[in-house]
């Protein structure tokens, strides 16, 4: 092969050795012979040998060059392409989790399908935490294994895609796209900066209390987070030079997105209409203990611990997870200059504003008009698409939106079927027997029940699913152990919101703010656990004193 390369190179390089492109026919004898000039033998021999020696030298040089390049290639081979597949160690950790649980003995009272689904669910959760692949891919593998092993049917495995919450979150990202693309996001962000932007902490508090004011009017935390505050957060961070993926996340975006998320679960807990699943708590309370939780009852009990949490949680995060941009005295002045340079609102900004007002209006008055949150979001998105403010191609390019839709829908489906297969009921009964057999005072027994109820939310991708599966059982046990029934119902109702801050899938606002990609997953879970302890101390400590003062127990 090497000789072939050499010869090809030589013949293509040396003119005297290159094959002629013309065909010279052999002379026929019938043609008359032509007289040729006589060349002396010595001179002819000299010319031939000179040409021969020159060609041989050229051939030798070219051969050496080719051999050298071949030798060099063998010494310094081209780098192999980088591995594009799964990270092996995290993948093995996920598989090992599932296999160990799958092969473990099935507890009495648990069906085989329920136990196998639990193994797949926990393996998927480990995969989502360690991320051997992107989150959507991990979740899709989990669904695929559940179908392959006949643990779930295809329709059951993909039933989460029929749930409105993942779609509402997906649409929220499209709204954010239009918010930023039109410049409306920047305009509002500069308005906020001009008023509160001299410090990052002031900016954060302005968003926190704005969201709390909207909470009683907009009963969908997903809608509040995704349709209103995610676009604001992204615009503010961009205006302050903090963007995901370029090393500037900690400048402002990481702290602000985590703060807005953690306080969204607090504002949801403060009002009966703060989260879509809160009325379910009231309904289950009515059916269990025959007592009604009114809007004012809820708000009065939650107002003190809620306000304290809204003040302390941003401050605690500011201390332990601080933004690098803490103060900027010139920011308000610069923001006003930016606003002046932007000039009047463009037509697209006006369409975006009108669409946002329409959608928020439908979220506020949807109960009266019989229009749910996701229907209102679809209507708003339709206006943006028809007007060209956002194009479908841009929607398809929002990879985070589709990835979030995939993994969130997958977890919702798995969690729902864990409940349908009876695993959650078995878990509740086991807890009830265990706590009831300890012989403790009702205060200590209720404390244990509260912690088990709260931290079992790691197994749920929906507050409504958790409430529907465990609220009645835990309230019944707490009442049987001596806990004042109405007090127990109120505390479980508040915690049904606060527990959403544990993970990036536990409540509707979690995938929205996590999807902004400012905070790594491990830190998201770590700070979620830490803030959960802070909230429990505030709500059960200070809250307990307040509830005693108002006669709740």
Q: What is the pLDDT of residues 509-538, one digit of tens each?
A: 888 899 889 999 999 999 999 999 999 999
Q: Are residues 246 and 301 in the same domain?
A: yes
Is 26 within the bounds of a domain? Answer: no
CB atoms within 10 A of CB 411: 28
Question: Is-contact 210 343, C-beta < 8 A?
Answer: no
d(CA 119, CA 111): 13
Asked whether the predicted pLDDT for residue 48 surpasses 70, the reply is: no
Residue 40 φ/ψ, nearest 5 degrees: -60, 145
Is 370 within the bounds of a domain? Answer: no
- Residues contacting residue 376 through CB under 8 Å, at least 6 positions apart: 223, 359, 362, 363, 366
At what angle are helices 164-181 and 347-369 packed, to 10 degrees? 150
Q: By residue range, what is the domain housing residue 118?
A: 88-161
Asked whether the predicted pLDDT for residue 53 surpasses 90, the reply is: no
In this predicted structure, what is the pLDDT of residue 12? 44
Greater pLDDT, 50 or 272: 272
Mean pLDDT across the stretch 203-228?
80
Task: Count Cα neighbours of 5 within 13 Å in the Cβ-side half-sphere.
Answer: 11
Asked whether the predicted pLDDT for residue 60 surpasses 70, the reply is: no
User: Which of 161, 196, 211 is at the close of a domain?
Assistant: 161
In this predicted structure, what is the pLDDT of residue 156? 94
Question: Is-contact 266 546, C-beta < 8 A?
Answer: no
Asked whether the predicted pLDDT for residue 492 surpasses 70, the reply is: yes
d(CA 242, CA 238): 5
- Going by pLDDT thresholds of 50, 70 and 90, the confidence category of residue 401 is confident
Segment 352-400, tens digit of pLDDT: 989 988 887 887 787 788 888 788 889 999 999 999 999 999 999 988 8
In this predicted structure, what is the pLDDT of residue 217? 67
CA distances from 163 to 33, 158, 494 (A): 98, 10, 24
Tally the domains of the chain: 2
Q: Are residues 216 and 129 in the same domain?
A: no
Mean pLDDT of the chain: 81
Mean pLDDT across the stretch 146-153?
95
Q: Strand, helix or coil at 245?
A: coil
d(CA 147, CA 104): 20
Q: Are residues 153 and 292 in the same domain?
A: no
Task: Count Cα neighbours of 51 within 13 Å in the Cβ-side half-sphere.
Answer: 10
In this predicted structure, what is the pLDDT of residue 32? 40
Asked whether the predicted pLDDT for residue 143 surpasses 90, the reply is: yes
d(CA 260, CA 264): 6
The token pair at 39 is 């060349």
Q: What is the DSSP letter of 199?
A: B
Residue 252 φ/ψ, nearest 5 degrees: -155, -40
Asked whether the predicted pLDDT for residue 118 surpasses 80, the reply is: yes
CB atoms within 10 A of CB 122: 20
Residue 544 φ/ψ, nearest 5 degrees: -60, -40
Asked whether the predicted pLDDT for residue 121 surpasses 80, the reply is: yes
Greater pLDDT, 372 or 162: 162
Residue 471 φ/ψ, nearest 5 degrees: -60, -50
Asked whether the predicted pLDDT for residue 22 surpasses 70, the reply is: no
In this predicted structure, what is the pLDDT of residue 207? 86
Question: Is-contact 415 469, C-beta < 8 A?
Answer: no
The token pair at 187 is 């305009």
Is 361 within the bounds of a domain? Answer: no
In this predicted structure, what is the pLDDT of residue 49? 46
In this predicted structure, what is the pLDDT of residue 8? 43
Q: Are residues 194 and 300 in the same domain?
A: yes
- Going by C-alpha positions, the residue among 453, 454, 436 that lies closest to residue 444 is 436
- Going by pLDDT thresholds of 50, 70 and 90, the confidence category of residue 212 is confident
Residue 327 φ/ψ, nearest 5 degrees: -140, 145
Is 64 within the bounds of a domain? Answer: no
Q: Strand, helix or coil at 204?
A: helix
d(CA 181, CA 364): 26
Q: What is the DSSP letter of 282?
A: H
d(CA 380, CA 228): 13
Is 530 within the bounds of a domain? Answer: yes
Greater pLDDT, 195 or 537: 537
Cross-strand bridge partners of residue 199: 327
d(CA 127, CA 95): 8
Is 232 within the bounds of a domain? Answer: yes
Q: How many residues does the chain have?
A: 553
Mean pLDDT across the stretch 130-149?
91
Asked whether the predicted pLDDT for residue 145 surpasses 90, the reply is: yes
What percentage of the chain exceeds 90 in pLDDT? 34
Q: Are residues 431 and 516 in the same domain?
A: yes
In this predicted structure, what is the pLDDT of residue 40? 45
Is 173 within the bounds of a domain? Answer: no
CA 311 to chain centre: 26
Mean pLDDT across the stretch 231-258?
88
Mean pLDDT across the stretch 301-308?
95
The token pair at 422 is 């009876």
Most confident segment among 184-188, 327-331, 547-551: 547-551
Q: What is the DSSP letter of 362?
A: H
Instruction: Choose the weakest-confidence range: 38-42, 232-236, 247-251.
Output: 38-42
Question: Is-contact 512 232, C-beta < 8 A?
Answer: no
Segment 306-343, tens digit of pLDDT: 999 999 999 999 999 999 988 877 678 877 888 888 88
User: Which of 161, 194, 213 is at the close of a domain?
Assistant: 161
Q: Are residues 238 and 274 in the same domain?
A: yes
Q: Are residues 193 and 332 in the same domain?
A: yes
Mean pLDDT across the stretch 138-145?
93
38-47: string of b/e by CB count within 10 Å (b at 16+)? eeeeeeeeee
The token pair at 162 is 């029929």
In this predicted structure, what is the pLDDT of residue 16? 41
Most confident segment among 38-52, 87-101, 266-280, 419-433: 87-101
Q: Are residues 443 and 519 in the same domain?
A: yes
d(CA 202, CA 195): 9
- Kind and range of the H or E element at 118? helix 112-130
- Residues contacting residue 244 through CB under 8 Å, at least 6 positions apart: 253, 516, 517, 518
d(CA 95, CA 126): 9
- Going by C-alpha positions, the residue among 427, 423, 404, 401 that lies closest to residue 414 is 423
Is 482 within the bounds of a domain? Answer: yes
At what angle are helices 184-196 and 164-181 packed, to 10 degrees? 80
CB atoms within 10 A of CB 114: 23
In this predicted structure, what is the pLDDT of residue 254? 94
Q: Are residues 188 and 154 in the same domain?
A: no
User: Which of 128, 161, 194 is at the close of a domain?
Assistant: 161
Q: Are residues 339 and 453 in the same domain?
A: yes
Question: Is-contact 506 499, C-beta < 8 A?
Answer: yes
CA 53 to chain centre: 73
d(CA 279, CA 266): 16
Q: Are residues 442 and 339 in the same domain?
A: yes
Number of helices followed by number of strands (H, E) in the chain? 27, 0
d(CA 342, CA 269): 39
The token pair at 197 is 């932007």
Q: Are residues 274 and 140 in the same domain?
A: no
Question: Is-contact 264 533, C-beta < 8 A?
Answer: no
């Amino acid at each position: 092969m090497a000789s072939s390369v050499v010869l090809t190179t030589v013949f293509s390089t040396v003119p005297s050795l290159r094959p002629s492109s013309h065909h010279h026919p052999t002379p026929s004898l019938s043609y008359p012979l032509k007289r040729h000039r006589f060349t002396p033998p010595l001179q002819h021999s000299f010319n031939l040998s000179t040409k021969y020696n020159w060609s041989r030298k050229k051939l030798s040089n070219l051969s050496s060059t080719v051999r050298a390049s071949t030798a060099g290639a063998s010494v310094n081979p081209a780098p192999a392409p980088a591995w594009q597949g799964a990270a092996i160690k995290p993948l093995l950790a996920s598989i090992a989790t599932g296999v160990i649980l799958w092969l473990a003995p099935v507890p009495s009272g648990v069906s085989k399908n329920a136990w196998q689904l639990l193994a797949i669910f926990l393996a998927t959760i480990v995969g989502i935490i360690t991320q051997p692949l992107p989150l959507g891919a991990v979740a899709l593998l989990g669904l695929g294994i559940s179908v392959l092993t006949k643990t779930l049917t295809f329709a059951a495995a993909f039933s989460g895609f029929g749930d409105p919450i993942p779609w509402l979150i997906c649409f929220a990202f499209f709204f954010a796209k239009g918010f930023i693309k039109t410049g409306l996001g920047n305009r509002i962000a500069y308005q906020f900066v001009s008023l509160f932007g001299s410090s990052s902490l002031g900016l954060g508090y302005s968003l926190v209390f704005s969201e709390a004011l909207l909470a009683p009017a907009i009963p969908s935390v997903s809608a509040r987070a995704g349709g209103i505050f995610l676009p604001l957060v992204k615009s503010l961070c961009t205006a302050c030079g903090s963007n995901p993926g370029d090393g500037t996340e900690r400048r402002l975006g990481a702290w602000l997105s985590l703060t807005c998320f953690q306080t969204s679960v607090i504002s949801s807990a403060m009002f009966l209409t703060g989260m879509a699943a809160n009325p379910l708590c009231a309904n289950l309370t009515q059916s269990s203990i025959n007592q009604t939780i009114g809007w004012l009852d809820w708000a009065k009990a939650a107002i003190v611990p809620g306000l304290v949490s809204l003040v302390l949680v941003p401050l605690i995060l500011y201390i332990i997870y601080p933004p690098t941009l803490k103060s900027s005295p010139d920011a308000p002045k610069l923001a006003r200059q930016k606003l002046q340079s932007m000039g009047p609102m463009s037509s697209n900004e006006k369409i975006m504003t009108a669409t946002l007002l329409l959608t928020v209006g439908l979220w506020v008055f949807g109960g009266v008009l019989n229009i749910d949150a996701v229907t209102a979001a679809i209507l708003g998105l339709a206006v943006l698409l028809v007007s060209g403010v956002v194009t479908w191609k841009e929607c398809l390019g929002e990879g985070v939106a589709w990835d979030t839709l995939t993994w969130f829908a997958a977890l919702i489906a798995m969690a729902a079927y864990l409940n349908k297969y009876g695993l959650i009921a078995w878990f509740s009964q086991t807890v009830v027997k265990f706590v009831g057999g300890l012989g403790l005072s009702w205060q200590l027994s209720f404390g244990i029940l509260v912690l088990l109820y709260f931290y079992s939310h790691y197994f749920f991708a929906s507050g409504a699913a958790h409430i529907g599966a465990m609220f009645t059982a835990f309230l019944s046990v707490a009442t049987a152990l001596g806990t004042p029934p109405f007090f127990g119902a109120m505390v479980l109702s508040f915690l049904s919101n606060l527990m959403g801050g544990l993970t990036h899938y536990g409540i509707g606002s979690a995938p929205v703010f996590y999807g902004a990609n400012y905070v790594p997953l491990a830190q998201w879970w770590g700070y979620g656990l830490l803030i959960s302890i802070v909230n429990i101390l505030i709500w059960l400590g200070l809250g307990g004193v307040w509830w005693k003062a108002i006669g709740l127990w």
